Amino acid sequence: MATDEKPYGQERRRHHRHGSYMLIPAGVLLGLGIGMLAGYPGSGVLIGLGLGFIGSAVLAQQRSAQAGDEEAPRPRGFLAVIGAFLVIVGLGVIWAPLNFWPYLVALFLILLGVWFLYRAFSHR
């Protein structure tokens, strides 16, 4: 028999690790349904998608910390940042005035640039 087969525990851990990303489509569908009931289906999708990204990032980080993998856990902060931005955009479509959007997008892009600079220089 082949000796390079993966043990059952590794295969199971890999399966559960990928299961955390199922929160994203679940969030989209829940957001769409709730948004349709509230009369804002587009905003509901954005909010649900954002919450799915945030939940996926949190769950993946918790699982990698609990599993104690030999490999270093990858940071999931970028997924949470994208999720927070989508939630803000979804809420902003409902409540924010139109002249607020250029400032919100500019602020997000500035923070994203700072994040990239931090990531680039913190690993040296």
Exposure class string for 66-95: b at 16+ Cβ within 10 A, else e: eeeeeeeeeebeebbbbbbbbbbbbebeee
Closest CA to 104 of 120, 118, 84, 76: 84
17-40 confidence digits (pLDDT tens):
556 678 889 999 999 999 999 999
State the pLDDT at residue 44.
Answer: 93
Percent of residues, the chain, with pLDDT higher than 70: 74
40-60 confidence digits (pLDDT tens):
999 999 999 999 999 988 888
Phi and psi (nearest 5°) for 75? -70, 140
Q: Is the pTM of this model over 0.75?
A: no
Sorted by where each begins, the domain ranges of the chain are 8-94
Higher pLDDT: 56 or 61? It is: 56
